[in-house]
Amino acid sequence: MNELELKYGCNPNQKPSKIFMKNGGNLPITVLNGKPGYINFLDAFNSWQLVKELKEATGLVSAASFKHVSPAGAAVATELSDTLKKIYFVDDLQLSPLASAYAKARGADRMSSYGDWAALSDICDLETAKLLQREVSDGVIAPGYTDEALAILKTKKKGSYNIVQIDLDYVPEEIEHKDVFGITFEQGRNNLKIDEEFLMQNIITENKNLTEEAKRDLLIALITLKYTQSNSVCYAKEGQAIGVGAGQQSRIHCTRLAGNKADIWYLRQHPKVMALDFVDNIRRPDRDNTIDVYISDDYEDVLAEGVWQQFFKTKPEPLTREEKKEWLKTQSGVSLGSDAFFPFGDNIERAKKSGVEFIAQPGGSIRDDNVIDTCNKYNMTMCFTGIRLFHH
């Protein structure tokens, strides 16, 4: 099959719509269930490239959670702490390496991952299918599915869940084309290989120490950025992206947006958040939304409105601004990647507030000296990659 007709394009009024191979060859995918749409396939193909490259770079099973052609989260398989299992709401599940990777990719920013497209670097197993089954998700792409996993996923969304299998050996053509306003653009594929050597060639700060964990996390950040709508910045820690700032016009806004998400990820581990006593049978999205409100500065106003009884068995004690500030001061060991150079040191100042110690960015600003000096002030390690990672 070299083409697949779709219901419509980005919006219902955009018809006709299809995906096809210009060279007349067969599509490298098989739809095993459901009817994926135009945006679904954009998410599927971008997310698949991300997890495939992430596994190649780290040697670890990988997963991603995509929304609107940018990753909400991406991760490699590592052992989850009891704390992370609890805040990702998987402490009741048996987790394979692949399930652990998806739990991390999905759990880093649960608000953004609601209704996501999942990508798996390896054959979907039973444990990962059970995790996907209970989350609000539009579809999944993987190189294969066990019989047990496929049977479970086919029951999701009343049998309409989108399940796509990708040919692991598919290699796209070197030249890409894209039509905009009736005009065709052409460019070479971004085949840049991101690996440890990419990080080690130009460490320009006084502190030149890159731990093994930092190398892994910087690779995750940079490969995530390669498939994130630009401008973009990514914070990573413990084998996963913990904050992605995508599609901003200003570099500092990317850094703030991603940093705020990284802060929320860490605040969810605060003892007060961990101790929240929810009512029985609360819906998973309602619980996620409530946690987000509880962490926000607006929560005391919500409490005053007397709606807490809808979500909690007992009225929670607010998490004060001072408590949040003190808790965030304990965050450390965070890695940060940027898809283009930092023009000013203010980005580093903001990154410091979220515990960043390791940075990878292209370099090349006329104010590189200011950025380097700011890193040196905080004893950070920063490498210049020399390569921009814009994605549009």
pLDDT per residue over 10-29, tens digit each? Answer: 999 999 999 999 888 899 99
Average pLDDT, integer, range 206-229? 97
Model confidence at 227: pLDDT above 70 = yes
Q: Is residue 296 scored above 90 in pLDDT?
A: no
Please tell me whether residue 338 adopts helix, strand or coil conformation: strand
Take residue 300 and report the two structure tokens written for it. Answer: 């005391």
Tell me which residue has tokens 């500030």.
325
Q: Is residue 164 scored above 70 in pLDDT?
A: yes
The reported pTM is 0.95
Beta strands in 271-386 (DSSP E): 334-338, 356-361, 381-384
Which one of 130, 231, 237, 347 is the catalytic residue?
231
DSSP assignment of 65-126: EEETTEEEEEEE--PPPHHHHHHTT-TTS---HHHHHHHHHHHTTHHHHTTEEEEESS-B-H
Average pLDDT over residues 79-91: 94
285 pLDDT above the threshold of 70: yes
Give yes or no for a contact between 270 and 323, defined as CB atoms under 8 angstroms apart. yes
pLDDT at 326: 97
* Cα separation values, 207 from 121, 140, 346, Å: 34, 41, 20
On average, the pLDDT of the chain sits at 94
> Is 1's pLDDT higher than 80?
no
- Tens of pLDDT, residue by residue over 105-114, are 999 999 899 9
d(CA 71, CA 47) in angstroms, rounded, equals 7
Is 231 one of the catalytic residues? yes
Question: Over 80: is that where the pLDDT of 307 sits?
Answer: no
Residue 297 phi, psi dihedral angles, 5° rounding: -75, -5
Q: Is 67 a catalytic residue?
A: yes
Model confidence at 136, pLDDT cuts 50, 70, 90, reads: very high
**Nearest 5°: phi and psi at 63?**
-150, 160
pLDDT at 348: 97
* From 68, 154, 253, 391, the catalytic residue: 68
Return the half-sphere exposure (C-beta side, CA atoms, 13 A cut-off) of residue 295: 25
The pLDDT of residue 281 is 87
Give the number of C-alpha atoms closer than 13 A to the C-alpha of residue 211, restricted to the C-beta side: 12
Q: Which entry of 67, 85, 270, 324 is annotated as an active-site residue?
A: 67
According to CATH, what is the number of the domain 3-166? 3.40.140.20
- Measured between alpha carbons, how far is 319 from 363 in angstroms, rounded to an integer? 39
Mean pLDDT, to the nearest integer, of 181-203? 92
**Residue 299 above 90 pLDDT?**
no
Predicted confidence at residue 118, as pLDDT, reads: 98
Lowest mean pLDDT segment, chosen from 198-207, 235-244, 283-292, 364-373: 283-292
Share of the chain above pLDDT 90, in %: 88
pLDDT tens-digit series, residues 313-364: 888 888 999 999 999 999 999 999 999 999 989 999 999 999 999 999 999 9
The DSSP symbol for 27 reads -
Query: At 12, which amino acid appears?
Result: P
Comparing 39-53, 132-146, 224-238, 314-328, the range with the smallest average pLDDT is: 314-328
Instruction: Please give the share of the chain, as a percent, with pLDDT higher than 70.
Output: 99
Q: What is the structure's pLDDT at 304?
A: 64
Arch. (CATH architecture) of 193-267+328-384: 3-Layer(aba) Sandwich (3.40)
Q: Given a cut of 70, is residue 303 above it in pLDDT?
A: no
